[in-house]
Chains A and B, each alone.
Chain A
């Protein structure tokens, strides 16, 4: 068990995201405050349109807020340029998407190596790490398979392996089980859990599935761009 640190690794302070649709202004996030500590597994729930994905994009440095501040390891990222954000995404954050989002022309191993290429990691190291990661997600025999030759669950496991390729602090999972049947979904969640417990990775997961959300240490409920309820899950105690 990794020792939990009480210093927040992610901190959103009064974050607003306002989209202009012609004359109409639409607030996807309206003063969102959120803290995630290192080593935590947090799930975010909420109906569609509640701002879950926008919040995810903010944490993942894919987007910048209209107003407010986002701190990643105490560094304010809300004003950084796209090039700097890309660097942070590449090094500190791993993404797992609902649609897996693997590059179809590349093999499983090559998909895992791609984030490492963007960080100029030498080839022998890339190959070595990709092999290890594939083994970790129980896909050691699928190195040369293209995404189309893999099942949904396998693709998502490759995606999880890819999210870890640069050994990031934070793994962001946006509806990771949304495109999987419940049984496959559970194995994927188990992998995320394992990552959290054994590797001490901070995990933030968006989902609308209550049973999946409960696997996290804590569930935040989002409505109209704000946290409306926080629930501490007691999965571990129940065991």
Chain B
């Protein structure tokens, strides 16, 4: 019988299209706000998580402060020297440490030029470790070997025609800072530009051919033996660096961070933003809910006669309640559906604009199944909660009096 009641409720809503839409606006603005902002927040989290590249609870990164993960910024920053790596490795609790050089330069292929970011891969035993840590796998060709002095492994995005008008495949020759390199492999797609647009070159090749200064290490990645000791190890590294670089506590010109900790601080910042937005959205949903209540009370007044008729032909109080209850639930749920669609359009639209303007996947939207189902259930519940009182009012109407009503 539910299907029949549903049909009757839909008829009543469709009959009063304008009011139905106006009532739903309150709901769908709120739902759209929640969906798009949570979606963008989650997308941002995914984007940032993958930017770190190295992620693990047992990894620390050491870099001169002032620099970002990009190419070295201001010249005033005292660079991290290569000799520190050996010293760090001798610290109690450190498993291994290696340098990562990042160098920007020109790339040329198919007679077209672009700016690229070359990232170093250490030689020897450390290569295996970093390959494992970053979970590097190739889709074409193979990963770098120690003897690939002029070899390069490219991210998956270079397979596409976008950058050079023609996709690159393994075996092709490209120019890095006007020096010819052979593409030995193409990485699997990872979904983050850090990987998909990466240009991996052996450490020694970067120093030999790409004018990378050996004593300007961009990041030292440190793997600790035991992740529970990560804070103690961090302090030991900081102590060493203070001594080596001759700075006092509080005046450090370097940073030792664990990506995990950074992610956590990001999460808490993101959480604060999302909480704030959610509260605003909840207020808007509350107002929307009151709108539903108002509409339903009006409907009860307006359909008093109809209620009387239904009661005279055998509708019980429960039946009338159900009819109105379904109607308000539908108002909520349809409002929710529109809200979810709008929210998705907004979030993905913003992500697309971000991609166009920034040329990178920094703004991502991720609207999961859970978020959609949650929003849908929430809007339905909202509709029914605010529909309960009007529905009770409708069901309690006296049949004789309501039949006498003019409308």
Contacts and interface: CB of A to CB of B under 8 A. Distances in A.
Interface of A: 57, 60, 62-63, 82-83, 86-87, 89-91, 95, 97, 101-106, 114-115, 117-120, 123, 162, 166
A162 B310 CA distance: 12
Interface string B65-77: 0000000000000
A226 to B, nearest CB: 20
A60 to B, nearest CB: 7
24 contacts: A57-B400, A60-B312, A62-B399, A62-B400, A63-B399, A82-B316, A82-B399, A83-B317, A83-B318, A86-B314, A86-B316, A86-B319, A87-B314, A87-B316, A89-B314, A90-B315, A95-B313, A102-B309, A103-B306, A103-B310, A105-B15, A117-B5, A118-B319, A120-B1
A87 B36 CA distance: 49
Contact of A114 (B12, B313, B317, B399): B313
Given A63-B400, A90-B314, A101 B305 contact: yes
B4 interface: yes
Contact of A91 (B5, B314, B318): B314
Contacts of B311: 62, 86, 89
A65 B8 CA distance: 33
B316 A101 contact: no
Contacts of A91: 314
Between B5, B12, B314, B319, the greatest number of chain A beta carbons within 10 A of the residue's beta carbon is seen for B314
B382 to A, nearest CB: 25
Contacts of B312: 60, 62, 89, 95, 101
Contact of B314 (A104, A105, A106, A166): A166
Interface residues of B, number: 23
Given A83-B316, A118-B319, A105 B309 contact: no
A115 B311 CA distance: 9
B317 A86 contact: yes
A115 B313 contact: yes
B11 interface: yes
Given A82-B399, A89-B314, 13 more contacts: A83-B316, A87-B314, A89-B311, A90-B313, A91-B314, A95-B313, A101-B305, A101-B312, A103-B306, A103-B310, A105-B11, A114-B8, A117-B5
Closest 4 CB pairs of A and B: A90-B314, A118-B314, A86-B316, A105-B11
Nearest to B311: A86
B305 A117 contact: no
B167 to A, nearest CB: 59
Nearest to A172: B312
A83 B4 CA distance: 20
Interface of B: 1, 4-5, 8, 11-12, 15, 305-306, 309-319, 399-400, 403
A62 B315 CA distance: 12
A119 B315 CA distance: 9
Contacts of B11: 105-106
B1 A117 contact: yes
A153 B403 CA distance: 20
B299 to A, nearest CB: 12
A83 B318 CA distance: 8
A117 B310 CA distance: 11
Nearest to A83: B316
A90 B311 CA distance: 8
A106 B313 contact: no
A62 B310 CA distance: 12
B314 A62 contact: no
A95 B5 CA distance: 22
B309 A103 contact: yes
A50 B37 CA distance: 67
A81 B319 CA distance: 15
A115 B8 CA distance: 13
A102 B305 CA distance: 10
Given A101-B305, A101-B403, A105-B15, A118 B313 contact: yes
Contacts of A166: 314
A64 to B, nearest CB: 10
Contacts of A83: 316-318
B318 A114 contact: no
A91 B4 CA distance: 19
Given A62-B400, A101-B403, A89 B317 contact: no
Contacts of A105: 8, 11-12, 15
B403 A117 contact: no
